[in-house]
Chains A and B, each alone.
Chain A
Amino acid sequence: MVPVEYYIILSAILFSIGVAGVVFRRNPLVIFMSIELMLNAANLAIVAFSSVLKSFSGQIFVFFVIAVAAAEVAVGLALIVEIFKSKRTIDVDQLNSMKG
């Protein structure tokens, strides 16, 4: 028997680790992975609440989130590959051509 609070606390910790990754990593691929981690943490909270409420809607929403994450990764990685082709680097500090 696990209180639902434990699942929510775990989800919050994983989400915060993802936020830290987005804020200080320099590699856009790792930033993307951190975003996946945050989506995953949110999914865990949704499934925990769905399990407590004995409702299947939560599981359906997680299914949709997984589909959206797959679409996001496909487009995002295509963008990163294109940026690498034109600039020869993907370090986020070097990508400042729109800086005034």
Chain B
Amino acid sequence: MSSDLILFLILAVVAIATAIGMLLNRNSVYSALFLVLNFITVAVFYLLLGAPFIAMAQVTVYAGAIMVLFLFVIMLLGAERLADAQVLPWQKPLAYGLAFVLAAETIYLLVTRARPEGNILAPDATVNTVENLRQVGMTLFSDYLLPFEVTSILLLVAMIGAITISRREKGRQK
């Protein structure tokens, strides 16, 4: 077994364990922290896949900005522990069963039918991170310039939307 396969298997166990921890934890602050760990593990996968720019964006945007926003809202609302009253007792086992069926089906189809081919070699020391950044930047600003600009408009719209939703209207104060 090569060293990057061992690394992959360890990280895969960590990723799945933190995802399940996120799913099952009653306290949503702990769920958020498990999810941060999961995102950082996935960032390490991106490094193994030779995508250092995406790995760093993942750590700063997902594990940094988005999860801090989540923790902030959880603590603002005091929603750490919602009473998990199950109105439908069969819902939880059914959800587990369906998710398991979905995973099994996807894996079966991917492994037996789609057969994605190829091996991923861990990037060796000769791969230059700056070169990767340069190529990602060149692709982003040549072939994908229009989607990039649309994304900036999308972020602007989301910002204005969030401000408008949470602003108190003047005439409706009680």
Residues of A within 8 A of B (CB): 1-10, 12-21, 23-27, 29-30, 32-34, 36-37, 40, 43-44, 47-52, 56-57, 59-60, 62-64, 66-75, 77-82, 84, 90-91, 93
Are the C-beta atoms of A50 and B79 separated by less than 8 Å? no
Residues of B within 8 A of A (CB): 2, 4-5, 8, 12, 15-16, 19-20, 22-23, 28, 31-32, 35, 38-39, 42, 45-46, 48-51, 53-54, 57-58, 61-62, 65-66, 69-70, 73-74, 76-77, 79, 82-85, 87, 91-92, 94-96, 98-100, 102-103, 106-107, 110-111, 115-122, 135-136, 139-140, 143-144, 147, 151, 154-155, 157-159, 161-163, 165-166
Q: Which of A20, A50, A52 is most buried by chain B, counting CB atoms within 10 A of its CB?
A: A20
Q: What's the dominant secondary structure at chain B's contact region?
A: helix
Are the C-beta atoms of B135 and A56 separated by less than 8 Å? yes
Are the C-beta atoms of A51 and B120 separated by less than 8 Å? yes
Q: Which residue of A lies closest to B52 (CB)?
A: A59
Q: Which residues from chain B contact A44 at a C-beta distance below 8 Å?
A: 42, 45-46
Q: Which residues from chain B contact A69 at a C-beta distance below 8 Å?
A: 62, 66
Are the C-beta atoms of B159 and A64 separated by less than 8 Å? no
Are the C-beta atoms of B135 and A67 separated by less than 8 Å? no
Q: Which of B54, B83, B87, B117 is most buried by chain A, counting CB atoms within 10 A of its CB?
A: B54
Q: Which of A2, A74, A82 is most buried by chain B, counting CB atoms within 10 A of its CB?
A: A2
* Closest A-B pairs by Cβ, 5 of them: A71-B158, A20-B99, A16-B103, A24-B95, A23-B95
